[in-house]
Amino acid sequence: MNEKSKLLYTPEQRIKRDKSIWTIVQGVLAPLQFLVFLVSITLVIRYLMTGKDYEMANYSILLKTFFLLLIMVTGCIWEKVVFDKYLFAEAFFWEDVFSMLVIFLHLSYVYCLFTQKLSPDSLMVLALCAYVAYFINAAQFIWKLRIARKEYEALQKKTSYVSSEVFNEGYAS
């Protein structure tokens, strides 16, 4: 790791992250949202291919949207605890920007569903666009988790740069 490069978390932020209940909440909600996404995208594609289970696909998209909004609210709380900003903390700025697009697309789907602004097929295509954006955004966050893990491993090798007291306080990723 380049010594001039900025760490994703300062030692203090990593301690806050590791001690926060919101880290656990995010760790539970993220895989649940992904599971709902997998079921829902299957139902959406099934509808587009066969014309069957339109209502079930809609319910699954609404459930996915609920999980998205829930994880966004709890993620904002997590960011406030760790970075002292509800949104757009430097470490996750671009992920948060892209999250706004994901939310916009999901809420556009909800709006179009309830106002009947789009045909059923167009509505499902909009849902697929929202899901592509969600998948990209999820990959952004997974990439950041990987970076954090690699930073921790690099810092662990150079324990002379970080006091053992910080590691004892819960500096593990």
Tokens 């970076």 belong to: 147
Lowest-pLDDT range of 5-19, 25-39, 49-63: 5-19
Tokens 């999250």 belong to: 99
Query: Does the residue 1 lie in any domain?
Result: no
Closest CA relative to residue 135, chosen from 58, 49, 30, 54: 30
Residue 71's domain comprises: 11-168
Q: Taking residues 120-137, what's their average pLDDT?
A: 97
Question: For the chain, how many structural domains are there in total?
Answer: 1
Query: Does the residue 5 lie in any domain?
Result: no
Spatial separation of the C-alpha atoms in residues 98 and 152, rounded to whole Å? 26
pLDDT tens per residue, range 107-126: 999 999 999 999 999 999 99
Query: Does the residue 3 lie in any domain?
Result: no
pLDDT tens per residue, range 80-94: 999 999 999 998 899
Spatial separation of the C-alpha atoms in residues 142 and 122, rounded to whole Å? 30
**How far are the Cα atoms of 6, 13, 42, 102, 139 from residue 2, in angstroms, in the given order?**
9, 20, 43, 33, 24
Would you state the pLDDT for residue 2?
A: 45
Would you state the pLDDT for residue 146?
A: 86
pTM of the model: 0.81
Alpha helices in 10-92 (DSSP H): 11-19, 21-50, 54-83
Query: Does the residue 107 lie in any domain?
Result: yes
Would you state the pLDDT for residue 131?
A: 98
Q: Is 5 a residue whose pLDDT tops 80?
A: no
Q: State what percent of residues in the chain have pLDDT above 70.
A: 88
Would you state the pLDDT for residue 117?
A: 95
pLDDT tens per residue, range 147-160: 878 877 777 777 65
Task: Find out whether 147 and 95 touch, Cβ atoms under 8 Å.
Answer: no
Phi and psi for 70 in degrees, rounded to 5? -65, -45
Q: What is the DSSP letter of 4?
A: T
Q: Place 1 in a pLDDT band, splitting at 50, 70 and 90.
A: very low
CB atoms within 10 A of CB 22: 19
DSSP SS3 for 34: helix
The two structure tokens encoding residue 159? 């324990």
CB atoms within 10 A of CB 141: 16
